[in-house]
Each structure stands twice: as structure tokens, then as C-alpha cells.
Structure 1
């Protein structure tokens, strides 16, 4: 994999086309899941449109694969050139005030470039909450990729303890907030992409406890190999949050839904996002 990272982008994207062909036409990786997710999310679209979006997604997914590998041999300057933060001042003003912030991102665009590019764009530390992989080799490999530009990683089970211990430090703690929450997680249930969906409520609970601002992190591919990140403040960390309501999570869902509708091929449709059902 490290050998691949040294190849020029032109060669990597040729390899990505090979991955795309294998995923979409030979292996048909989770093809039924992708088709079901797309049909349920876009009931107004024809079968031909669903097929087109599905194929475009596999091409995008293959490109994200080689771009992630490329992280092993990218300079900070190159990463900063390829991922443009349009409005970093949304976070920087909180850093200047000595505040910790939460960043809510998703499996859209190139999600693996969000944390690493944030570490080279922002003046404060960027830490990502993650679930360690069970395979030791891939856990070590992905840990090195995700931290090589200076970002930190926080195992999911240690999130609260880490935030308590470092509550006075200006930084952003990034959460991948679109993952499927099960009934045991006491999720916030809402309609997302025309389907009942349960979301983790960590953002609301942590923001209320630590009085920290929350931003939505949108990343979109503007052309092959180049992305733009736009930050939208969802909560300023000052006004009290209502108990047993989840306005931050709901705002995240609405922003993500708008991003998906604008560029559906850039979302991770192989993810079993809707595997849980709302309790009767």
C-alpha cells in the first residue's frame, strides 16, 4: 500500500478505474444494499436514474480509496492545496476565546481527508472520535494515515473522559455523526432521506454538558482529487439546550440531507444506514 502512495495521481486514478470496474461489474460489492438504499432514498427517481447514481457512487468510492492511500505520501502543503477550507474563521473565533468545539461530519465526499486537512488548516488541535478496527494491521495502518498531519484520535469509549480531562483546551473534537444508532443507544428518531432513521445524540449531550459550540462540516468534491469544506455553526455554546430534545442532531440531519441531494454519488451508500427499525 505504501508503494501505491508514491505513485502520481494520474496513475492512481487509472488504478481507481480498475477498482471501480471490479466493484461495480465483477464483485458487485454490496450492490443490493446500494440499490435498496438509493431506491428508498429517492423514490421519485426512475430505475435508470438509480442505476446511474449507483455507478457514479462506485467510481467516487474507488477514487476515495486511492486518495486515502495517497495520504501516506502527501505533504501538508499538498493536502492544503487539495482540500480548501472556505471559512475556517467559524472555528478560529472560538479557538481565540479558548473554547473547545465539536465538529459533526459524515461519510460524504472524502471523509478520510476531513480530519487530516483540518490539522493543517486550523490553528488549534483537531481530534477525531473513532471506533478502533478489529484487524491489528489495518488498525495500525489507518491510525498512521489519520494522524500523520498532526491530528489526534480518541477511541469512542474514551470520548467523555478525554473531554473532561481537556475541557479547557481550545480544539475541535470531530464526530462522524451519520452512523446508525441501535435501540440500545436511545437514538433520536427522525425522517432522513425518506426513511425512519435513528441517530446518536452525543452532539446534543456533549454540547449541553461542556457548553461548547458545534459546527456542521460539509465536504464536497469540486473536481477529481479536489474538495471544499464549508463550516456551518449549529450551536454557539451559549444558550441553554432543551432537555430531552435534540436540536443539534436534527440540524445536522437536515444539512446532511441537503448535501446528499445535491451530490448523491458522493455519499457512502454501501453503509447499512437503515438497518434498525423504530420501536413500535
Structure 2
């Protein structure tokens, strides 16, 4: 009963936000950012520690500027999303979530029925589901891999929100089965399976560490294992933030099975480099409140270390 009531209250709130004029939405976002950043200090210690380690070359004022920018984008992600998702499809694809070049996917469709896409918690990831509007024009259906939320009311609400434009949600533990079905079907349909891959691996899954934002970082390698096993191309989704409510996404090739055998973790390392460059280009748009570095390298003596990371560690010893 409590979950049902919570769901309807949240749904009513989202409906109200969707109907507010943009001038009020922008005002609410700035007020909310001020409250959570300056008054409440939501995960401030985590954010500041993450930023200072990731950008040792920046001054304190530069770090604080990124912090303020993060809180503002964070506020927009929650408050403006209902409004964004209630725009017309034409307005969404031309003003808010723009994908100017689908050629890489069209080329992949000539040889493969399914492609994998790696992206991060960058910009407004709740908007990514609207990508189905443009993917449909080139014959693709999209699956989004997700972990169900503990709060059932929020989980239901976000699931409805993310599937509004035809994209599907697939639980993480079921995605391999879906991929097998897509590969075997050979029915002329094409699938894009999108996976957010910048979160910290769970215990038992931190098998590969590299130098990411100047520190030893465990990187998920699940998308590499899926691409290798089922011989599927992998793309990275590079996101350019033009404003808190406008993003441009581009498909960057990470792996083509035609490359043949590659050393293990090559694809994962490529992803790390592209994700890092995306963050460095516009740091405030990443999810800095996430406890990304909560499991240090010392806890995983058997994990594989990239050559780049080993060079970083050797340099630290010398200094």
C-alpha cells in the first residue's frame, strides 16, 4: 500500500513538472542545485575527494566551479526530465537529444544483427531512451540493460519513463539470453543493446584495473566479454553537452569482430580512454557523487593491471 501511494504521488509530481513552463523549470533547477549543494551538501565529501584526485592540476576555485556545475546538472537531470520527455518527438530529436550521424550503425547492420553500446553516467542519461525515436528510422530496436531499483515505486516510475518511446529495459542477468536470441533469429531485425559501464564493479568482478583520471580504477569488462563471445561490434556513445537540456550523441567504434583476436581487455582499455576524454572535456556533466573508487587496488592483488596503470604506479614509487 505504501509503495502504491508513493508511486502515485511521484507520478503526480512528475506530471506537474511536465506541465510547468520552462521558465519555472529552470528556476526550480537552480534553487534545487543551491539547496543540495550549498545547504544540504549532498555527498559533498565524496564529490570533492573524487574531483581533487581526478584533477590534481586544477586550482581549488576550478574544482569548486566543476562542483557547482555538477550540482546544477544533477538538479536538471531530476527536475527537467519529466518536462523533456513530454516534448514532441520532433522537438526531442532536434533540440534536446540529437544524434547527427547514424552511419556507423547503418554500416554495422550490413554485417551484424546486433550491436553493443557502452556509455556512462554522463549528461542526462534518462534522455537516452528517446534515442529510439531516431534508431527506428534506420530499423533498430533498443534494449537498455538495467539493475532494478530497491525502491519499487521509483523503479516502476523510471521503467515507464525509460520505455515511453519504445526502448525496452532488460535486467542485467538476462541480457546474454536476449543477445543469443537476436543472433540466432536472423529475421532481418536489428538490435542495439546499451549498457552503462562506468560504475564500480561489484565484489568478485573487479578483474581489470587501469589508470583512469590519474588513479587506479577497476573497469567493468562485461561488454567486452559479450562482444567477443557472440562476435558483435561494440560502440562507445560519446556525449557532448551543449546545455543542461541539450546533448549530442555520437557513435564511436570500439571493436569490430573483423579485427580478429585481440589481447584481453583491449576493448575495455579503449572504452576507458574514450570515457576519460569525454569527462575531461566537460567534467561537470559526469556523476561525481558516485563512490567510484571505493575499492582500492590493494584489495585485488590478482587483478590484471594495464601497462598504463603500471607506469603510473612505477612513477609514484620513483617520486
Q: 1:128 is matched with which residue?
A: 144
Q: 1:107 is matched with which residue?
A: 121
**For residues 99 and 79 of structure 1, do their structure 2 counterparts lie closer, same or farther at Cα, with a shift above 3 Å needed?**
same
Q: Please report the TM-score for the alignment, with normalisation by the length of structure 1.
A: 0.95
Are residue 149 (structure 1) and residue 165 (structure 2) matched? yes
Equivalent residue runs for 1:190-229 within 5 Å: 190-229=210-249
1:199, CA displacement in angstroms? 1.1
Q: 1:274 is matched with which residue?
A: 293
Deviations 1:41-68 (A, max 9, x none): 0011111211111111111111122232
Instruction: Give the distance between the partners of 2:133 and 2:89, measured in 1 at CA.
Output: 6
Task: Give the paired residue count.
Answer: 278
Query: Which 4+ runs in 1 deviate beyond 6 A?
Result: none
Instruction: Give the distance between the partners of 2:261 and 2:43, measured in 1 at CA.
Output: 40
Unaligned runs of 5+ in 1: none
Are residue 65 (structure 1) and residue 81 (structure 2) matched? no
Query: Is the CA contact 1:110–1:219 (under 8 Å) kept in the aligned structure 2?
Result: no
Q: 1:83 is matched with which residue?
A: 97
Aligned counterpart in structure 2 of residue 4 of structure 1, from 17, 21, 28:
17
Deviations 1:140-197 (A, max 9, x none): 1000110001101110111111111222441110010101013401432101001111
**For residues 148 and 71 of structure 1, do their structure 2 counterparts lie closer, same or farther at Cα, with a shift above 3 Å needed?**
farther
Unaligned runs of 5+ in 2: 1-13, 302-319
Query: Is the CA contact 1:125–1:171 (under 8 Å) kept in the aligned structure 2?
Result: yes
Aligned counterpart in structure 2 of residue 171 of structure 1, from 174, 181, 191:
191
Aligned counterpart in structure 2 of residue 233 of structure 1, from 228, 253, 263:
253
Instruction: Give the distance between the partners of 2:286 and 2:243, measured in 1 at CA.
Output: 15
Instruction: Give the distance between the partners of 1:241 and 1:181, measured in 2 at CA.
Output: 25
Task: Point out the structure with max Rg over C-alpha.
Answer: 2
Q: Please report the TM-score for the alignment, with normalisation by the length of structure 2.
A: 0.83
SS at match of 1:65: helix
Q: 1:52 is matched with which residue?
A: 65
1:86, CA displacement in angstroms? 2.3
**For residues 186 and 268 of structure 1, do their structure 2 counterparts lie closer, same or farther at Cα, with a shift above 3 Å needed?**
closer
1:96, CA displacement in angstroms? 4.2
Are residue 33 (structure 1) and residue 52 (structure 2) matched? no
1:36, CA displacement in angstroms? 0.2
1:72, CA displacement in angstroms? 4.6
Q: 2:309 is matched with which residue?
A: none
Deviations 1:229-272 (A, max 9, x none): 111011122222336x1111111110111111110111110011
Instruction: Give the distance between the partners of 1:139 and 1:211, measured in 2 at CA.
Output: 32
Q: Greater helix percent: which structure?
A: 2
Query: Is the CA contact 2:85–2:127 (under 8 Å) kept in the aligned structure 1?
Result: no
1:98, CA displacement in angstroms? 4.6
Are residue 159 (structure 1) and residue 175 (structure 2) matched? yes
